[in-house]
Structure formats: structure tokens, C-alpha cells
Chain A
């Protein structure tokens, strides 16, 4: 990791407003956060709290209305779409709720997709591919198509895809949202393991207190603001805080 500052992602005074005039919706308001290298953070909050918007901005998928985002020392404001795209390509991995595998590609081709997008030769990633397939326990199913895989297997393919190019940061959007609890736990275990092994920062948006309990820190959002935070939380702690939030709201 060449990031000397020790901070993987930092935001200062983020604000995001959708629409204009009377129909304007303030999705984020004055969000300032810092995620050190290697941190596994969960972002929580009820629907409409702005957690997805925050993840989009942290993942350089969307731009804030105002405020700053710095990723690995690079200030994002003012970067062109192309530069942002290249930043995502080089530094980030994504895991989505709906897996988003390409149905026409086999498991290993899906894993190699970021390599192909970067215009690199897939052969050079042969070893890495084997290692990751082994990690996600799909070595025996590498030539299967997504529709021949279970939900858990599909999400494991997606995790391997997120890891293939050694990203600094992994963004996960409800990675367990479409999985049963046992498979969800497996997938989270994998994320945790890889973060530890490859020293990656993981930012995860989730509804699920069990998922959040895996993380090293849980951040709570409500109405676009950071309202609470818990270090090394367990499931009960998280449930308690959510209840407090709900009674406040």
C-alpha cells in the first residue's frame, strides 16, 4: 500500500441535493468521514437515510453537490468522468446486492472482467484467478454460467471479481441483501478475510445488523446526516442503536 497518509477515503462537508427548487431533496448534509487503510466499515440507516447516495459518492460513481472527497490522496472534485472512471478501474472493487454478473459469461470470465475492461491480457492474471477461485471455493465451478450457480455462489464470484485487480478499496452495496443468513455469513467472512489478507479498505452499506456486526466500525445515517457510530459493535449493540434512531425519527 503506497498510501502514506494512512487514510484510504476521506470526505469533508459532503452535501448532495437532488432536483431543484421546491422539489429539491437533500440526500446528504454535511457528511465528514475518514476511513483509514484496512478498515472494514459498515454504513447503516433506514431507507432514505442517504446511505446509498453516500456509497455512490465514496465509490466515485456520483458527484456531491458540494464538499470534498479524497480517495487515496486524490481529490475527486474537478476530475472528468474519464479520470473518475480510471480511478474506479485502478483502485476500487464493487460488490452489488444483485450480484450483477454478466449472464453470458462463465464464472471465471466474470471474475476476469475488470482485467478485460482495463485492456490487460487475462493470461497474466491466471495465478491470481486460481488463488481467488480457491478463496471463494469455486475452483470446481469456474466454467459455470451465473444461471447455473446458487445465489451465494454468484455473490462469491462477484467478490472474486471485486478482488481480482488488487483494489485498495472495496465498496459493497447490501452484499447479503439477496442471500439467506448462512450464505450471507459466508460471504461476509470472505470479505473480512480478504480485507485482512490483502490490507484492503471495505465500505459496506447494509440493513442487516448481523452483517454490520462483522465490521470494525458501524456508521449510522439518518436524514442525510451521520448521527451515530459504534466501534467493534456486536449485533445487540447495533439493534439498540437502530431502535434509538427510529424512536428519535
Chain B
């Protein structure tokens, strides 16, 4: 298995000694600070009454902060930032699918809610709303 493992690699990343340790400590502090800010915002939404639109704005901020955390974990801890650009692209480009994935499904959920609210029970399965009113033939469905 390891016969050619060395020859696959053209050049090794420098281990980077103390400089790297400093970078790790810096990233750790950054991740902790971002987490504390996120918690602060989450608790603020609970502790202080606020308008729904402002709440939504704070949630958006928390999402962006989480993406920043993900960027630092992948880029520094997982060393993806040190790899060749082509490798980075083969990992990151497929993830663009998430843009459609998230948008489409959340809109679908929202539309589901709106339909149910506006059309009332007409889209709820019939046998659950009024079993007594059903003619016997409805049982066959």
C-alpha cells in the first residue's frame, strides 16, 4: 500500500513549527469569540421582546457567523487552504448545489404553510376531518 505513497506527493507542506501553533491558537480564539457572539444573539432574542423582522435579521447574522466558523475550521484546521487550487475547487464547486437545495426546499415548506392556512381544511386528508360524514364508499380509497 505504501510502496508509492511518497512518490505521489511532489512537494510537502512545511511543518511550520511555532508559527503554525500561533495560527492555531489565533483560530481557536476566533472560533470561541464567534460562538460567544452567536450565543449572545441567541439569548438576546429570548431575553428582549423584539419585532419579528428584527429577529429574522439577527438569525441571518447568526447564520453568516456560522459560515465564517465553517470557513476557518475547513481552511485552517483541515488545511484545505494549503492545498492546490484544483483540489479546493473539486470540493467547493459541488457544494454550490446547496444554494438551490436550501432555497427550493425552504420555499416549498413555506408555501405548504401558506396553502394550509389559506385553504383551511380542504387540503387536509378528508377521512381525518369528518369521519362520520363520509359515505361508506369513501373507505375504498
A associates with B: no
